[in-house]
Structure 1
Amino acid sequence: MNMIDLKQSRLNRWLLAFAPPILALSALSLALAQKQPAANESSTVQWKQPAGNPGDFAGTEVCAGCHVVEDSQFAKTAHAARHAEAAYGTGCESCHGPGKAHADAMNAAGGDDEKLQAAKKLVFAFHASPAKNSAKCLTCHVSSQDQQHFARSEHHFNGVACNTCHASHLVESAGVSNQAGAELPLAQFFTAVRRQEEQRWLSSSLLKKSQPALCYSCHGAVQSQFTLPSHHRVNEGLMKCTDCHSPHGTRNQPMLKKTNWEGCVNCHIEKRGPFIFEHAAVKVEGCTACHSPHGTVSRMLLLRREGRFLCLQCHVDPHAPNVPHGRLGFATRGECVRCHATVHGSNHSKFFLD
């Protein structure tokens, strides 16, 4: 065996020994390049006993005597949790307030419509203004890390109350199909398995409908964006609106859980960095300077059909030191990313050439 054959034999043995681990690591890195959003944190809601005299409360058992269906559904939720330290005001009356006067008046009405209507007004039934309805929920939920900013949220300012989206018992939403959104364009592809309505309701914060159908009932313009050819897979069930947005309000606009680019790199972790050479547009203006977060007709959710024209929105001065090409060269010589491949940031080239 000559020297060349010996070297080739050693190379083959090396490849057989190390190629599988290298391929496995490569596959793992690709799998981790995009990750699912983290699971929700445990609840921080602290129950508060409603105001009133002990004699004004009837107890959950009295409520269940008439509201059988509501009680059976309510009993499955976290709201029905018993508080050993409280002698009264738990269960139904935690939200609806003292119910003894209401129960006594209903029994004394004797079928009289006027008396029945008057009796129904003796308990808080969430038929008040959105602000009052939400204030009732926030008695306890204001302590939640997720809901403490609701009073400054866009939903609050636009008259959206807690019970607009949530249902403490699913009676008012009975018959609502969880197939909502199945007729949307492209939704028949990559569609996640849908669960029974009650199971969905209990496992999704008591929402009246599933996402995104519930959000689309108000945000029609956003719904149309998600039907465009290039879009995040919300209609297909692989993402939810609340993966990026907090419907209860945040300090960020538009109710994003994190500031612009920080929210995106939760999933697109390969773009996170930090890089030695950062692209200033990413850190200053965020991902939405170039991408549409909902959907576009352009590839990779770009705001412009051709990426070079997107670059020209900032790189417009042909004499600037960071623009070594003439404007004509920009428009005629193809896409910028043919050379500047790492536009999100680089550890090797300040011109993002690697």
Structure 2
Amino acid sequence: MLTPRAKLFFLASLFSACFGQTRPSAAEPPSIAVAPLTAPEGTQFTGSDRCASCHRAESLEYAKTRHASLAATAKNAIADCEMCHGPGKAHADAEEGAHGDDAEAAAGAKLIFAFNANPKQNSERCLRCHQSSRDQKDFTHSTHVLHGVGCNECHSTHLVDAARNPSKTALGLAQANFFSVPKLPEQQRWLHNSLLKKPQPDLCFGCHGNIQAQFALPTHHRVPEGAMKCTDCHNPHGTSNRATLRQSGWETCTQCHVEKRGPFVFEHSAVKVEGCTACHSPHGSVNRMLLVRREERFLCLQCHVDPNAVNVPHGRLGFQTRGDCTRCHAAIHGSNFDVNFLH
């Protein structure tokens, strides 16, 4: 039988074993472990210095990019160029052995991954590294992927990183004639932290021409003017919501229109169930307040089909002639005071 002193020593040891272990700080959550990329065995990798011997201009500009910064500091870095373009020895040997023969040089160019494959193969190259965030996981089954849009349709790894080159403002770039990789069209040579080929909304309008036309209508959200961005509402990498919205339904709109969020004592089911687009066209409209119908009453009559709704007299003029629902039902988005949304 244990003595009181032995019991005390045993309990102290047990407490230390259970509660004395070092735990991670709440301010520093454990990082997500990502398997390092390793080069295949053999001598297929030639190194970025050999790439730079031919691609001098690209190499100098690439040194100013975000990817170059990561490659220089990351523990799992292999080789800058070959991390994306694949083993380059066969390509370099063929180019050097061509001796000016265009046919042989063209054949050598095919021995490196130049991101001119199908969008799925191009994106797989990017996702080898970009695999830890929710955006990238959603992208693999997003609307863009389903329609054949890959990462390099919107992004370019060779664009200059604005975070590493803060002095290169838009004005400075204009004065310097827009420097970046020489082979990029001049209108694509600009600074952006997301490595986008063009600024918003021009990048999105390249495919979504029908949406661009809506923004040209008399009433529209100020996206063309630069007051808003497409990505304020949409996540281009994909979401579980329709139209790649960042939030579901009306929640996207009430991020800005907070006065319409509620909760209200008396909720208008059209807002909560069908959403804002039951009455509003978010990109643009010929009507005031982005309404989908010119007359408010016709919006209301889409749901309120009871005969009494259209026969309420309004002075000497019947409702069907001059009726205006919101003159009485002013709190149409929801009310804390009246079940009929009168105020």
Contact 1:222/1:294 (CA < 8 Å) preserved in 2?
A: yes
Shift of the alpha carbon at 1:350?
Answer: 1.4
Q: Which amino acid aligns with 1:349?
A: D
Shift of the alpha carbon at 1:260?
Answer: 1.5
Quote the Cα distance in structure 2 between the aligned partners of 1:271 and 1:72: 52
Shift of the alpha carbon at 1:292?
Answer: 0.3
* Aligned equivalent of 2:251: 262
Quote the Cα distance in structure 1 between the aligned partners of 2:66 and 2:33: 11
Contact 2:280/2:289 (CA < 8 Å) preserved in 1?
A: yes
Q: Please say which of residues 252-261 and 67-76 is displaced more in the overlay.
A: 67-76
Q: 1:85 aligns with which of 75, 87, 102?
A: 75
Identify if the C-alpha distance between structure 1 residues 111 and 290 changes in structure 2 by more than 3 Å, giving closer, same or farther: same
Quote the Cα distance in structure 2 between the aligned partners of 1:325 and 1:54: 85
Quote the Cα distance in structure 2 between the aligned partners of 1:72 and 1:47: 30
Quote the Cα distance in structure 2 between the aligned partners of 1:341 and 1:173: 54
Aligned: 1:297 with 2:289: no
Q: Which has the higher Rg, Structure 1 or Structure 2?
A: 2
Contact 2:310/2:320 (CA < 8 Å) preserved in 1?
A: no
Shift of the alpha carbon at 1:84?
Answer: 4.7
Contact 2:310/2:319 (CA < 8 Å) preserved in 1?
A: no
* Aligned equivalent of 2:185: 174
Quote the Cα distance in structure 2 between the aligned partners of 1:93 and 1:54: 14
Aligned: 1:198 with 2:190: yes
Quote the Cα distance in structure 2 between the aligned partners of 1:64 and 1:47: 28
Quote the Cα distance in structure 1 between the aligned partners of 2:38 and 2:66: 17
Quote the Cα distance in structure 2 between the aligned partners of 1:207 and 1:347: 45
* Aligned equivalent of 1:119: 108
1:254 is paired with a residue whose SS is helix
Contact 1:246/1:257 (CA < 8 Å) preserved in 2?
A: yes
* Aligned equivalent of 2:132: 143
Q: What RMSD, in angstroms, separates the aligned Cα atoms of the two structures?
A: 2.3
For 1:239-258, list aligned pairs within 5 A. Answer: 239-258=228-247
Gaps of 5+ in 2: 1-31, 160-180
1:309 is paired with a residue whose SS is helix
* Aligned equivalent of 1:311: 300
Q: 2:198 aligns with which of 197, 203, 209?
A: 209
Q: Which amino acid aligns with 1:229?
A: P
Quote the Cα distance in structure 1 between the aligned partners of 2:328 and 2:42: 75
* Aligned equivalent of 1:276: 265
For 1:37-52, list aligned pairs within 5 A. Answer: 48-49=36-37, 51-52=39-40
Shift of the alpha carbon at 1:76?
Answer: 2.4
Quote the Cα distance in structure 1 between the aligned partners of 2:284 and 2:100: 56
Contact 2:123/2:152 (CA < 8 Å) preserved in 1?
A: yes
Contact 2:233/2:246 (CA < 8 Å) preserved in 1?
A: yes
Shift of the alpha carbon at 1:288?
Answer: 0.5
Quote the Cα distance in structure 2 between the aligned partners of 1:296 and 1:304: 9
Quote the Cα distance in structure 1 between the aligned partners of 2:301 and 2:125: 52
Contact 1:277/1:350 (CA < 8 Å) preserved in 2?
A: yes
Contact 1:93/1:99 (CA < 8 Å) preserved in 2?
A: yes
Identify if the C-alpha distance between structure 1 residues 48 and 96 changes in structure 2 by more than 3 Å, giving closer, same or farther: farther
Contact 2:311/2:320 (CA < 8 Å) preserved in 1?
A: no
Q: 1:69 aligns with which of 49, 57, 61?
A: 57
Contact 2:330/2:341 (CA < 8 Å) preserved in 1?
A: yes
Contact 1:290/1:303 (CA < 8 Å) preserved in 2?
A: yes
Contact 1:245/1:256 (CA < 8 Å) preserved in 2?
A: yes
Q: Which amino acid aligns with 2:57?
A: V
2:262 is paired with a residue whose SS is coil
Q: Deviations over 1:27-66 (max 9, x none)?
A: xxxxxxxxxxxxxxxxx99685255226322222222222
Quote the Cα distance in structure 2 between the aligned partners of 1:54 and 1:90: 15
| TM-score (ref. length: structure 2) | 0.77
Shift of the alpha carbon at 1:324?
Answer: 9.0
Q: Which amino acid aligns with 1:85?
A: K
* Aligned equivalent of 2:97: 108
Quote the Cα distance in structure 2 between the aligned partners of 1:206 and 1:47: 24
* Aligned equivalent of 1:231: 220
* Aligned equivalent of 2:3: none
Q: Which amino acid aligns with 2:184?
A: S
Q: 1:338 aligns with which of 323, 327, 334?
A: 327
Quote the Cα distance in structure 2 between the aligned partners of 1:314 and 1:220: 32
Q: Deviations over 1:119-174 (max 9, x none)?
A: 21221111111111111112122322222211221211111111111111243433
Q: Which amino acid aligns with 2:237?
A: H
Q: Please say which of residues 329-338 and 274-283 is displaced more in the overlay.
A: 329-338
* Aligned equivalent of 2:5: none
Gaps of 5+ in 1: 1-43, 178-196
Quote the Cα distance in structure 2 between the aligned partners of 1:301 and 1:341: 17
2:111 is paired with a residue whose SS is coil
